[in-house]
Amino acid sequence: MTKEIQQPPLIAHVIYRLGIGGLENGLINLINQMPVSKYRHMIICLKGSTQFRERLQRDDVQIIDLQKQDGQDWRSFVSLYKILLQYKVDIIHTRNLAAIEYQIPAFLARVKYRVHSEHGWDTFDPEGNNKKYQLLRRLISPLIKVFIPLSLHLQHYLIEKVGISEQKIIRICNGVDIKKFYPAKTRHPVADCPLSFDKKTVTIGTVGRMHGVKDQLTLVRAFIALLESNTELIGQLNLILIGDGPLKQPAIELLENSRLQKYAWLPGERDDIAEIMRSLDIFVLPSQAEGISNTILEAMATGLPVIATAVGGNTELVKVGETGELVPPSDPEAMAAALLTLIADKQKRQQQGENSHQSILDNFSIQAMVNKYTEVYDSLSSRL
């Protein structure tokens, strides 16, 4: 009689949509870096996937689209229930508020071990103060074995506002691929970027979906205010905004109205983020809310000083005066002042950039992140 070969446990990762974003990037990194012999993976998307799926380096990961309708779509709950039974899923891992309700069909399908991660705030609840969302998390929490917040800020939120037991919480910060994101020996422009680059030029930039809480318009307004009050910098300061979304056109209009568009580049979504990072001198994250920002980690790994808003996990990553500066959210004047400080002091930029890079090497390697997630899954799968 032939002995049946036991397959590794199967983890179903449930997310809203597999597109460009920090949550999605972290998930792809986790699956790519985890040994194939440890776990099998499948990704279940509520709202489909994009070409971002091509970043998966494993050909054994199935991606399923639930094609969820807007609003409360009970059909998608039934679909997930059937999928979990069909594939005999061992562990379900939902991410963020949009997916947490799908712990219910997982419970009904008798998926024994259920994990939920909090990566950042919902667009409509940037401060985490929405009582309805707190209640939803609280009501579903008995079904969840482990909560994984990505920052201390989110950890405190789960404990203090939602009422989750500290014993159920394991904080895991994102890791960054230091083989992909690393400092450039010399700054060099991106091939198809029309901006002028020379030794006197300082290039600032940001990366992210151009919508809602990401608030790139505050950075654009800071850029405009900086040049209008320091006209000697016109022609010596570049702005690069990478990403697409509803804020892109308003950003272009602000620049056009100020007659400064020729000093800015807004190419939309890109797949050469690492190369673009190496063309920057200063990275800025103007978000109104954040968990642990992947783009900050990538910028720091690239050896850039970071100016970020003092929200969420940003305060854990950016050490004022050491790796960058923190400013209040939605405050173009404060952001402009912080930018001017770094623009005027090249040595300070370089020192903060070096400190940023060292901080990543010491604390935020991708392997450390993978090891921590593996430990969580191991603690559950050992009971299967």
pLDDT tier at 219 (50, 70, 90 boundaries)? very high
- Residue 108: name the closest of 133, 132, 83 by CA: 83
Contact 138, 105 (CB under 8 A): no
What is the C-alpha to C-alpha distance for residues 303 and 104, in angstroms, rounded to an integer? 43
- Strand order of the sheet with strand 10-15? 62-65, 40-45, 10-15, 91-95, 113-118, 146-149
For the cut 80, the answer to whether the pLDDT of residue 125 exceeds it is no
For the cut 50, the answer to whether the pLDDT of residue 240 exceeds it is yes
What is the C-alpha to C-alpha distance for residues 104 and 121, in angstroms, rounded to an integer? 21
Mean pLDDT across 232-246:
96
What is the C-alpha to C-alpha distance for residues 317 and 324, in angstroms, rounded to an integer? 9
For the cut 90, the answer to whether the pLDDT of residue 203 exceeds it is yes
Pairing of strands 113-118, 40-45: unpaired
Q: Provide the pLDDT for residue 343.
A: 96
What is the C-alpha to C-alpha distance for residues 291 and 243, in angstroms, rounded to an integer? 19
For the cut 60, the answer to whether the pLDDT of residue 371 exceeds it is yes
Residues 6+ apart with CB under 8 A from 260: 223, 224, 227, 234
Domains of the chain listed by start with CATH number = 10-175+365-381 (3.40.50.2000), 202-363 (3.40.50.2000)
For the cut 60, the answer to whether the pLDDT of residue 16 exceeds it is yes
For the cut 80, the answer to whether the pLDDT of residue 382 exceeds it is no
Give the rounded percent of residues in the chain with a pLDDT score beyond 70: 98
Mean pLDDT across 197-220:
93
Give pLDDT tens digits for 284-336: 999 998 878 889 999 999 999 999 999 988 999 999 999 999 999 999 999 99
pTM of this structure: 0.76
Residues 6+ apart with CB under 8 A from 16: 45, 46, 47, 95, 96, 98, 99
Query: What's the N-to-C CA distance of the chain in angstroms?
Result: 25
Q: What's the token pair of residue 71?
A: 């609003």
For the cut 90, the answer to whether the pLDDT of residue 365 exceeds it is no
Q: Provide the pLDDT for residue 121.
A: 72
Give pLDDT tens digits for 65-113: 999 999 889 999 999 999 999 999 999 999 999 999 999 999 999 999 9
Q: Provide the pLDDT for residue 123.
A: 64
Give pLDDT tens digits for 160-185: 999 999 999 999 988 888 989 999 98
What is the C-alpha to C-alpha distance for residues 248 and 192, in angstroms, rounded to an integer? 19
pLDDT tier at 1 (50, 70, 90 boundaries)? very low
Mean pLDDT across 44-58:
93
CA distances from 369 to 9, 26, 35, 112, 172 (A): 20, 9, 13, 24, 7
pLDDT tier at 5 (50, 70, 90 boundaries)? low
Mean pLDDT across 140-144:
97
pLDDT tier at 212 (50, 70, 90 boundaries)? confident
What is the C-alpha to C-alpha distance for residues 23 and 66, in angstroms, rounded to an integer? 19
